[in-house]
């Protein structure tokens, strides 16, 4: 259970986030990524969204190291 301060921090953070709907382009990228790299579907959608938006994917998930046709920045936990 979150404390009130944590809940407020999360709400402030989420106000700064941009929500991106999964469109047909992202779906096609996700299908291609799934076929080519056998990632889990949620990871494919994340990677496809980054690719469609032309932004680097920032993740600590080493599974994304399979993907070699987009910019991925790995960070240490």
Q: Does the residue 67 lie in any domain? A: yes
Whether residue 55 contacts residue 63, with contact meaning beta carbons closer than 8 Å, is answered with no
- Structural domain range at position 43: 22-74
pLDDT score recorded for residue 73: 96
pLDDT score recorded for residue 76: 86
Q: Does the residue 15 lie in any domain? A: no
pLDDT score recorded for residue 56: 96
Q: Does the residue 50 lie in any domain? A: yes
Q: Does the residue 13 lie in any domain? A: no
Per-residue pLDDT tens for 4-56?
Answer: 999 999 999 999 998 899 999 999 999 999 999 999 999 999 999 999 999 99
Of the two residues 76 and 32, the one the predictor is more confident about is: 32
Gap between the terminal Cα atoms of the chain: 22
Whether residue 33 contacts residue 48, with contact meaning beta carbons closer than 8 Å, is answered with yes
pLDDT score recorded for residue 6: 92
How many structural domains does the chain have? 1
Q: Does the residue 58 lie in any domain? A: yes
Angle between helices 41-53 and 24-37 (to 10 degrees): 120
Q: Does the residue 69 lie in any domain? A: yes
């Amino acid at each position: 259970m979150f404390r009130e301060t944590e809940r407020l921090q999360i709400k402030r953070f989420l106000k700064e986030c941009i929500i991106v709907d999964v469109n047909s382009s992202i779906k096609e990228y996700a299908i291609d990524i799934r076929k080519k790299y056998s990632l889990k579907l949620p990871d494919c959608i994340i990677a496809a969204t980054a690719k469609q938006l032309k932004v680097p994917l920032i993740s600590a998930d080493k599974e994304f190291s399979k993907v070699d046709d987009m910019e991925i920045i790995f960070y240490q936990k």
